[in-house]
Structure 1
Amino acid sequence: MTERWTRIRTWRLFLLTCFVASGVHSLAPVRAENGTHLPASESERKQRTLRDQADQLVAAQRWEDALSLYLQLAANERFPELRERIQLCLRHVLQLRRLHDPAIHAQFVNLPLARALDVYAEAITRLQQNYLDRERSLPGRLVRLGLESISAALEDAQFRQRYCPIASESELRIFQAKLRDGWQNRAVQSGRDARSLLSEIVFQAKRDLHFAPPGALILEALSGACEGLDEYTSFQSPETLVAEAARPLSEFASYGITLQIDGDQLRVADIRSGSMAATQGLLHKGDRILRINRNRIERPSAMRIAEWVRATFTSTVELEVQPVEAEDRMVVRVPNDLPTVVGARIIRDAVGYLHLNGFRESSISEVDAALNQLRAAGMKSLILDLRGNPGGQFLIAVQVAERFLPDGIIVSTQGQLEELNRTYTAQSGPNAWIHPMIVLIDSETASSAEVLAAALKENQRATLIGTVTYGKGLLQAMIPLMTGAKRDDMGQPTPQNGALRVSIGRLLTPMGTPIQSQGVSPNVVEPHRDRQLELAIEQASRLASMR
């Protein structure tokens, strides 16, 4: 089961990448099983077959299998309905996780009815006020998304067995018809209206279906409203908020590994290409972590792992590892505080190179130090490698852009809130670095890294080489739901009922192009990683020779 949900999380992250990649070539050739390219006509037939199979799986409500096929299609072509179909499948797959793992939302499901309804009303109001697109977050639309989620949940056998086991098939169908043809058509203008309507639905479900507890229906209405907006907006229950707060693995993410709790074991779930972990080659996907800082892994939890990682007073975290394909155990020491600038050097004939793998507080001083080092070594042109950079602190990325831009727009933000409608401009003037630049990007260049890449490209400050970037151009905020909040020892209210992770703004390039879903296109498209660097060195060498 854990492996299945790991794939779901991967799909959620990969969703936009597929559309970004498909923008480079309208129809990339499909490979045969032996690795050779298929002729165009055969490729098109294969794509049509995949599409038909995926559509049939949707009709059969096999959402996970359908999503897998649609993602295969998205890697090679784009047709108008594809994005909508992928989002539909993704919503259902995420819902299945919620339905089949009720423990992650048990606290909310068991709230008293009045309080759960109040939380729902507050959530609808806050989504309407804060979501980046007001038209998409009108209360009536949010309610309809939630009722669709309730209807889909009633199709799930485990959900029915848990909450309305004695309801007959005909009773369920009649109730779903009321959802579709009656309640969904009600006029809803506010969170209060939404609460009133959902209260009526909950009462009817109890009477007609013997449904209990009502919090399960309210959870579906709330989660459906969030997940129908975009891939990133979601409801965070109290349980998931605890898990979020306890996530210990930012150090490991910088190193380039993702760890996954698998039952009573802890395993390496992924290794990011181009990372220190990938370069060292000590860890592999599937390796089992036996101890962290000599603490034996038994019934691992995110909170316990966080304590072990953060308790170290040394510069490394010690992992005892059982390799997936070896009998002998080994010890791997992971750096505790990795720099974001790595590999700064003169790579060839006055061509400087540095790899920026994230944005945090230290990145500014790291970039400045690397640039000064390269200039002292005789740098005349620079290769800035943003491949695999997942982003980080937005304002730090803006400040890095200012290092290279004397003037001009860096990025604009748009949202409902007045303070989000802002244009960030460079004002470095003669203090900006003036060396000619080549920037390397790929499909894992995301978020704040895309802001930097777009700013350098559209201000004609750098040539971009590689593939289209990830396409995550949203600003998000965690908005606590304060209904029923208690006060802590300092008298401050503390939310008890979870929070909303909301997309509150979108990022626009200097020319006004949204980054979300589109990404940043390179000036020179080159899909092969080694060849990307070769091209960058060739172009940077020519630029250096002209100075």
Structure 2
Amino acid sequence: MLHRFRLTPFALALSLLTGPLQAAEPAPAKAELPLDELRTFAEVLDRIKSAYIEPIDDKTLLENAIKGMLSNLDPHSAYLEPQAFAELQESTSGEFGGLGIEVGMEDGFLKVISPIDDTPASKAGIQPGDLILKIDNQPTKGWSMMEAVEKLRGKPGSKVLLTLVREGGQPFDLPLQRAVIKVRSVKSQLLDDGYGLIRISQFQINTGDEVAKALSKLKRDNGKQPLKGLVLDLRNNPGGVLQAAVEVTDHFLSKGLIVYTEGRLANSELRFSADPEDASEGVPLVVLINGGSASASEIVAGALQDHRRAVLMGTDSFGKGSVQTILPLNNERALKLTTALYFTPKGRSIQAQGIVPDIEVARARVTREQDNEGIKEADLAGHLGNGNGQPDKPRRQDTRSPRPQDDDYQLSQALNLLKGLNITRQ
């Protein structure tokens, strides 16, 4: 049975790269205090207060000490002050002010994990893997994640200048204008007769329900006939709420483990399994992933791959397989603390490994050559008939409206694979 938990207000506080919300356990028996280290800490605090060039209050010093403790643990643990905590809550509600970039840290540099669909970042052509060297001419080297997010977000309509470098090339400046980021997590459409596409840009609280609605809509659009194949597009999806990832995966499975977590706390060990209902009706499935597919996206892709329910296509995923717990503190502050790791049904750890696709298809630009076939026999005046009573087939004029797969090489390859699978099944 699918392991479900009621979404509390804390669940809204999960960031786009976090895992399941977990309540803090009662504190274990207190260990002996490290008195020597505490004396050193008190001495440093006193020396700074008395000798630093400018007066600095105890509150600032202690908050900086807390930030230092967390920033040196891992890239995803952080101390959230009131504004950062509020922005974290906004992230999973699907609306906030900024550029629409999911970022991470790599060797002290700010790195783009993925741009979010239909945002200033994606429209400007920012790509996964881009390094943000400067924000408004201020070098980002050594910044914390919270400092970076604070600089990237801002009042809609305000402008910001990013200095980027891509794949070892030369740095370049990119001016952007902030906007209200309203993230629509699920989009769907028919790519071809009987073949559908579901695109998930991030995992929000309602994403599982939205995917169920998308599956029903695609069937209606296909004349209420079962689909011949489906592409689930998780490219540049930075993750989100774990429960949503579990629900989405469950729509494509009728049994078996989806994901489990392991950590030091007893209640950080969770197991999620599929229920018997298969909303997808067993439709042949291709899942697209790339280096911008992280966290919850990797949970979905890994589970469907382990159960051999889908063919994974694209490039290696990001490799973010750790679980962050939001622990509210007093004064509207919180800790975002890494407490566990995700594992796929077969026990694979996603952390720092990622998901390797079954078929590697790199990103490429699609260019179409002019049709050199020219005039066909059926175009010639006085041509003979078929002889079998079949109608003539003159040169076809392509009057179709543009389709997503026309300019998306990876998507077109996924569609071709589904068509091939459908032929072999007949």
Relative to the length of structure 1, the TM-score reads: 0.48
Deviation at 1:227, TM superposition (A): 3.1
| 1:421 paired residue among 269, 274, 299 | 269
Gaps of 5+ in 1: 1-125, 131-188, 261-268, 289-300, 310-318, 325-331, 482-493
Q: Who is 1:544 aligned against?
A: 422
> Following the alignment from structure 1 to structure 2, what is the Cα–Cα distance between the partners of residues 205 and 275?
46
Deviation at 1:242, TM superposition (A): 2.9
Deviation at 1:199, TM superposition (A): 2.5
Identity %: 26
For 1:231-265, what per-residue CA distance to the aligned partner results, in whole angstroms no more than 9, with x for missing partners?
A: 212334xxx333432579745679963499xxxxx
Supply the AA of the counterpart residue of 2:312.
Answer: L
2:75 to 231, 248, 271: 231
Q: Tell me: CA distance 1:426–1:202, structure 2 relative to 1, closer, same or farther (3 Å).
A: same
What is the distance in 2 between the residues matched to 1:404 and 1:204? Answer: 57
- Contact 1:256/1:271, CA 8 A, preserved across alignment: no
Q: 1:352-371 counterparts in 2 under 5 A?
A: 352-371=196-215
SS state of the match for residue 193, structure 1? coil
- Shift of the 508–245 alpha-carbon distance from structure 1 to 2, 3 Å rule, reads same
**Partner residue in 2 for 1:170:** none
SS of 1:503's equivalent?
strand
Unaligned runs of 5+ in 2: 1-23, 104-110, 127-131, 137-148, 163-176, 365-407
Structure 1 residues 218 and 417, CA gap change in structure 2 (3 angstroms): same
Structure 1 residues 413 and 320: alpha-carbon distance in aligned structure 2, compared to 1, 3 A threshold: closer
Deviations 1:376-417 (A, max 9, x none): 314211000000111111101101111000111100011122
Cα pair 1:466 1:526 within 8 Å, conserved: yes
Q: How does 1:519-534 map to 2 (within 5 A)?
A: 519-529=354-364, 530-534=408-412
CA RMSD of aligned residues (A): 4.5
Instruction: Say which is worse superposed, 201-210 or 432-441, in terms of deviation.
Output: 201-210
In the alignment, is residue 194 of structure 1 matched against residue 194 of structure 2? no
SS in 1 for 2:85: helix
SS at the partner of 2:238? coil
Tell whether the 8 Å contact from 2:324 to 2:337 is kept in structure 1 after alignment. yes
Hey, what's the Cα distance between the residues in 2 that align with 1:401 and 1:278?
30
Match status 1:508 vs 2:343? yes
| Counterparts of residues 446-457 of structure 1 (less than 5 Å) | 446-457=294-305
Q: Is the 8 A contact 1:248 1:302 kept in 2?
A: no
Rounded to whole Å, the distance in 1 between the matches of 2:274 and 2:253 is 6
Residues 1:394 and 2:228 aligned together:
no
Matches of 1:423 and 1:271, distance apart in 2: 27
Distance 1:222 1:274, change over 3 A: closer
Deviation at 1:527, TM superposition (A): 2.1
Q: Match for 2:117 among 270, 275, 280?
A: 275
Describe the SS at the equivalent of 2:411. Answer: helix
**Alpha-carbon separation, structure 1, partners of 2:120 and 2:41:** 52
Q: String of CA shifts for 1:3-44, please: whole Å, max 9, x gaps.
A: xxxxxxxxxxxxxxxxxxxxxxxxxxxxxxxxxxxxxxxxxx
The CA deviation at 1:520 is 1.0
Among residues 327, 332, 347, which one is paired with 1:479 in the alignment?
327
State the Cα distance separating 1:197 from its structure 2 match: 3.0
8 A Cα contact 1:252 1:334, kept in partner: no
Quick one: distance in 2 between partners of 1:242 and 1:273?
22
TM-score (norm 2): 0.60
Whether the 8 Å contact between 2:259 and 2:273 is mirrored in structure 1 is yes
Q: Which has the higher helix share?
A: 1
* Equivalent residues in 2 for 1:254-265, closer than 5 Å: 257-258=100-101
Conserved? CA contact 2:205–2:243, under 8 Å: no
* Alpha-carbon distance between aligned partners in 2 of 1:368 and 1:202, rounded to the nearest angstrom: 56
Distance 1:509 1:271 in 2: 21
One of 239, 244, 249 as aligned partner of 2:85: 244
Letter in 1 for 2:231: I
User: Which whole-Å CA distance do the structure 1 matches of 2:64 and 2:98 have between them?
Assistant: 37
